[in-house]
Chains A and B, each alone.
Chain A
Amino acid sequence: EADIYQTPRYLVIGTGKKITLECSQTMGHDKMYWYQQDPGMELHLIHYSYGVNSTEKGDLSSESTVSRIRTEHFPLTLESARPSHTSQYLCASRRGQGAYEQYFGPGTRLTVT
């Protein structure tokens, strides 16, 4: 079982604010992911990283940005939050080649008013 942490768990913030969602894992996994999920919908990949200094955009276009300066840390930033950003954000990680299972953090429920 991977240990992966997300903070905050819940965030209510006003339009136009800058926010950073934190994600950390202690398993030394190279690969990390950010997903967005709306109620009753599938998880959509918005960002991923193969390792330090590697970031890629996912399948769903997102106005958020990510960075990967350390292996264990993969924060997501929204420069100017909007109500359309209201969603659940899930961070995940996995080991390298040959292991397809991704392990998820508890998620951040973001509400932009």
Chain B
Amino acid sequence: DQQVKQNSPSLSVQEGRISILNCDYTNSMFDYFLWYKKYPAEGPTFLISISSIKDKNEDGRFTVFLNKSAKHLSLHIVPSQPGDSAVYFCAASARGFGNEKLTFGTGTRLTIIP
């Protein structure tokens, strides 16, 4: 049973526009959420994170929004640039003994069209 879901396998966005990547989760114990970016043949790179006590976190062109009641988070990239073309993974972590682990979604491939 997949606890972190990224229902859009791919997304294409015009350069300069906003990219919105979505992620849903089912485990109410998750209290920390992260976004990673992955290029082919490389490891994931950490982008931005958010704690469950917040509903928004911003870092430059990247903003993550968390809606706890809907168990939904999203990553906004504004403006989108060609170098943003990559696979984006959402990940979540829970409190307690299990908080050492990250649970990942299946990823969304973002393509920025010049």
Contacts and interface: CB of A to CB of B under 8 A. Distances in A.
Given A40-B9, A42-B107, A107 B101 contact: no
A42 B42 contact: no
B10 to A, nearest CB: 10
B42 A106 contact: yes
A29 B68 CA distance: 31
Interface in A42-69: 42-45, 48, 50, 58-59
Interface string B83-102: 00000010001000001111
Contacts of B36: 104
A104 B43 contact: yes
Interface string A91-113: 11000000011111111010000
Interface stretch (B44-52, B53-61, B74-82): B44-52
Nearest to B42: A106
Interface size class on chain A is 20 to 34
A59 B46 contact: no
A81 interface: no
Interface of B: 2, 4, 9, 32, 34, 36, 41-46, 49, 89, 93, 99-102, 104-107
Nearest first, the 8 closest Cβ-Cβ pairs linking A and B are A104-B43, A42-B104, A43-B104, A42-B106, A101-B46, A100-B32, A104-B44, A106-B43
Interface of A: 4, 6, 9, 31, 40-45, 48, 50, 58-59, 90-92, 100-107, 109
22 contacts: A40-B106, A41-B106, A42-B4, A42-B106, A43-B102, A45-B101, A90-B44, A100-B32, A100-B34, A100-B93, A100-B99, A100-B102, A102-B46, A102-B102, A104-B36, A104-B44, A104-B45, A105-B43, A106-B41, A106-B43, A107-B41, A107-B43
